[in-house]
Structure 1
Amino acid sequence: MIETLKIKLLGGMYAQQEWECVLEIPIDCSLDELHQAILGAVGFDNDHMYEFCIASSYNSRSAQRISCDDDRVTQETVDTLLSKRKGKKLYYLFDYGDSWLFQINNSRKKRFNEKPDVFYPKVVLENGVRPEQYPEWDE
């Protein structure tokens, strides 16, 4: 089954404009695979640590966090992560220094069976301007 997720950039060191995308991804993908799919969608290199967070706000003390060095990133799936939300928001933070923060939401589209000859995960819609992970600096 394929889940359709909306990924929205909330902020980051070099975030200057809004950006979001709609991503179709198999529900049995691991959180590490979701991480890689988000990086692919935004065009970032996979060169920093990351975490997923379930909470009413990212900085909530009661947040449930799954970091990249936690075994759960390869064991938990998109489906299990979404089922744990229960009225809370889902966040993805990449690069603790530059703090690229994204919010992940289900779209209103119902889950559907994988289509033959389609490679997933797949970005199906993109709005805004992709941020630059490492912008060039004027010297």
Structure 2
Amino acid sequence: MIETLKVKLLDGMHAYNEWECALEIPIDYSLDELHQAILSVVGFDDDHMYEFCIGSSYYSRSAQRIVYNDDKVTQETVASIFPQAKGKKLYYMFDYGDSWLFQISKSRKKRFSEKPDIFYPRVVLESGIKPKQYPDWDE
């Protein structure tokens, strides 16, 4: 089955513009695979640590955090993480220095069966200007 997720950039050192996308992704993808998919969509190199966070806000003391080297990052799936996020939000932080913070939510679109002629994950809608991980400071 395929879930449509809304991925929205909330903050980052070089985030001057709003950006978000709708990402169709298999529900059996792990959080690590979701991390890889998001990096692919924004065109970032995978050269920093990351974490997922479930809470009322990313900075909440009571938030549940799943860091890049925790076994849960490969065990938790797209399907398993959203019941845990009910009433809370799912956040993805990449690169603690530049602090790229994304909010991930389920879209209102219902899950659907994978189509054999389509490669997933895939972006089906995008708005705003995609962030640059390492902008050219001379521009």
Residue aligning to 1:9: 9
Tell me the TM-score normalized by structure 2.
0.98
Residue aligning to 1:75: 75
Report the AA paired with residue 77 of structure 2. T
Structure 1 unpaired stretches of 5+: none
Residue aligning to 1:120: 120
Residue aligning to 1:23: 23
Report the AA paired with residue 67 of structure 2. S
Structure 2 unpaired stretches of 5+: none
1:24 partner SS:
strand
Identity of aligned residues (%): 75
Q: How many residues align?
A: 139
CA offsets per residue over residues 12-48 of structure 1, 9 Å max, x none? 0000000000000000001000000011111111111
Where in structure 1 do 4 or more consecutive aligned residues deviate above 3 Å? none
Aligned residue runs from structure 1 range 1-139, under 5 A:
1-138=1-138
CA RMSD in angstroms, aligned pairs only: 1.1
In 2, Cα distance between the equivalents of 1:117 and 1:45? 28
In 1, Cα distance between the equivalents of 2:86 and 2:103? 15
In 1, Cα distance between the equivalents of 2:91 and 2:73? 14
1:111 partner SS:
coil
In 1, Cα distance between the equivalents of 2:63 and 2:76? 17
Report the AA paired with residue 52 of structure 2. F
In 2, Cα distance between the equivalents of 1:118 and 1:86? 30
CA offsets per residue over residues 42-81 of structure 1, 9 Å max, x none? 1111111000000001100000000001011111101111
In 2, Cα distance between the equivalents of 1:25 and 1:86? 19
Report the AA paired with residue 57 of structure 2. S
Report the AA paired with residue 72 of structure 1. K
Report the AA paired with residue 49 of structure 1. M
Deviation at 1:137, TM superposition (A): 1.9
Deviation at 1:136, TM superposition (A): 1.3
